[in-house]
Structure 1
């Protein structure tokens, strides 16, 4: 974190400062800000936030022992460390992040980009980081730091030298993105897609649209909203914001688009067209034609921020995977390809992964889909799992292996489809799935492993990748 005095931190988090012996309100703190006591180093700030399973205050003594210079707590603790007592530790974390970003922005040329959408946030964030790093120092989230804790933690990593800050914004309820937007005040807001991811939490698509719209409603006239013109629910957000609109997509009248798409087992080639009229061919190693839309979104935002076409293309061509466990290509032994895409799953991303599997399968060889639960769909879960099973039939996937009771309806829907000449098997555990694949795979087969994180199939994907490496 940039250096702030204890008094400045206290003001930012709206808390009561309790100094330890020998400390003064003018003392500076500039260490990292952590909510995990195991990451504390001498000089760090520890935020003792309550958790779902435990309470951060229980770990404050460990933070003190590891050299924390300051504790932000919801109750005063009997520890020999300066503390700031706040009403809500998570809100305090956000307040501190907002103050740090505002100060850096006022002192320099910091530009902020925020990304939201039902799918593709992490991939787009990673592509943007790669593009912007070619221009200047860039801060972006580690992993999927996109909630009311993760986003502020990313914001707190900016320094006086940071030129670009990329923030991934997820939402589990209406108002969550609006809160993050108010903290960060992005110059560019990107909305990728509106789908059924987290439908169980939002209740319906209308609520999802309202939640994702929060990305653009508070933008200023001097800001830019980057919108997916191919998604009608995203496209209609243009009427909700005073910001300048930049549209991306493959169809219709858009500012940034792709043409001449060709997909295969090594990625996708296409021609990128920017809003300024420039265009260039791109060899994009990330597997899956659906990731081209993420590339277009990143390119649109990067162009707004002054990145050249040359640097945009170089960044895209240097990206070999979307993210760990996201369309990650493994294997190779006996020409067996394993696609590990089991970090997360929604109906949209599951459909896209199956279509990619069907598209890239080697002629004359089998395509095998090892599928687990799509979580957080609420009352839509049964219907959507049925739909995915039927999609696998329509795509003529050679074999389905469905893992876990919560995904079993995919298996039932496939075997009930009499026109399909493929096979479907159901197993209870990833270990059983591993043995089934190992005993049945043929040289040249392509194996997709796809599920929500909670199903744990990403580790099965790794095991299969190691088996055929």
Structure 2
């Protein structure tokens, strides 16, 4: 965080300051700001956030011993540290992020990018960060820090030297993206796609579209919306951009895109394509597995170009990225048995894309194996969408379909209903049972997809299988 006095922090978050020891309102803090006491160091600010499982106020002492010099709390804690009492620690965290970003931006030089979409946010964020870090100091989220805590924590890593801030913005409910984007009023907002991820929590895909449009509506006047021209729901957001006084830059695979991909080819070593931009045709080689990641790459290239990066340089830099993120199309195991661990999250769109990718990279003399768990937050569409994935796995001729967990049982039933022989699909209640089966069933040449929503926990099964077959 930038240097701020205790008085300035207090004013920014609307709290009441209680100084400790030799501190005064003019005492300066400038360290990490976080809700995790394990992240504290000298000069840090600890935000004591109450939670469902535990309460951050219980860890103020731990944070102080790790070096924290200020605690933002909802009630006074008996600890040797200056404290600012607020009504809501999470709201205060966001308010502090807004102030810090505004100060750095006012000093000149900081460009702010917001990224949202039903799928692809984290991959696009990582690709863009890889491009921009060659241009100057860049702040981007770790993992998927995109909620009301993770996004402000990332924003607060900005310093006076930061040139680019990349914010990944997720939506747990309508209005959430508006709140997060409102903290930073992005110069550029990229919307990747509108799909069924979290549709259950929003009440349908139309409500999801409305939620993603909130990013475009939060752009700075004169900013730019980077929109997927292949997705009709995203393309419709151009109206919101015009109303905001923002321009539009299109990416996609269709002829309407300003930055366009053609000749996409998926292999076991990655994905290749030809990128057309401003009359130039440039070769792309992504080491990240999956045809669907081409769209994420296009979005990153488009944003980078708006920030002054030559597309050829952008393409060269993203070609060095080996995996999008841990547990996202992550190759494990060995050439003998290759495990593709993509179980960090799952929606119908990402599940279908992962199944197609593994089918594309599996040779005719090798077996395709799908290890699948539940897709969460689909609401009343959950049954139908699990049916669809079960049918797709069979129609892509997966030789083994291993379904895990009661919440995914309907996927299994759809697979055996569509399947043409006994034993093609099997069901297990637990990942441990599936592990015991797979360690004896898998054989040389198998290509294995492990895919589920985070809540199903199959990412750890993927790690175990990767280690077993390494």
TM-score of the two chains, using structure 2 as the length reference: 0.97
| In 2: Cα distance, 1:68 partner to 1:369 partner | 47
The CA deviation at 1:61 is: 2.4
Structure 1 position 148 matched with structure 2 position 148: yes
Moved over 3 A (4+): 418-422
* Structure 2 equivalent of residue 324 of structure 1: 326
| In 1: Cα distance, 2:382 partner to 2:121 partner | 22
* Structure 1 equivalent of residue 425 of structure 2: 424
Contact 1:261 1:268 in 2 (8 A): yes
Contact 1:333 1:468 in 2 (8 A): no
Contact 1:221 1:244 in 2 (8 A): no
Aligned equivalent of 2:248, options 245, 250, 266: 245
Give runs of aligned pairs for residues 28-427 of structure 1, distance below 5 A.
Answer: 28-241=28-241, 242-274=245-277, 276-334=278-336, 336-417=337-418, 419=420, 423-427=424-428
SS at 1:282's partner residue?
A: strand
| In 2: Cα distance, 1:420 partner to 1:326 partner | 31
1:50-109 Cα offsets, whole Å, 9 max, x none, are: 112222112222223333211111122333321111111111101111111111111130
Change in CA separation of 1:418 and 1:429 when aligned onto 2, cut-off 3 Å: closer
| In 2: Cα distance, 1:120 partner to 1:228 partner | 12
| In 1: Cα distance, 2:110 partner to 2:2 partner | 14
| In 2: Cα distance, 1:337 partner to 1:78 partner | 53
Change in CA separation of 1:193 and 1:317 when aligned onto 2, cut-off 3 Å: same
The CA deviation at 1:451 is: 0.6
Change in CA separation of 1:420 and 1:119 when aligned onto 2, cut-off 3 Å: farther
SS at 1:258's partner residue?
A: strand
Aligned residues: 467
SS at 1:99's partner residue?
A: helix
| In 2: Cα distance, 1:9 partner to 1:315 partner | 38
| In 1: Cα distance, 2:354 partner to 2:189 partner | 26
The CA deviation at 1:3 is: 0.5
Q: RMSD value over aligned CA atoms?
A: 1.4
The CA deviation at 1:221 is: 3.6
The CA deviation at 1:281 is: 0.5
The CA deviation at 1:22 is: 2.5
The CA deviation at 1:440 is: 1.9
TM-score of the two chains, using structure 1 as the length reference: 0.97
* Structure 2 equivalent of residue 459 of structure 1: 460
Contact 1:396 1:422 in 2 (8 A): no
| In 2: Cα distance, 1:431 partner to 1:28 partner | 51
The CA deviation at 1:222 is: 1.2
| In 2: Cα distance, 1:255 partner to 1:119 partner | 21
SS at 1:416's partner residue?
A: helix
SS at 2:186's partner residue?
A: coil
Structure 2's unaligned 5+ residue stretches are: none
Structure 1's unaligned 5+ residue stretches are: none
Contact 1:134 1:311 in 2 (8 A): no
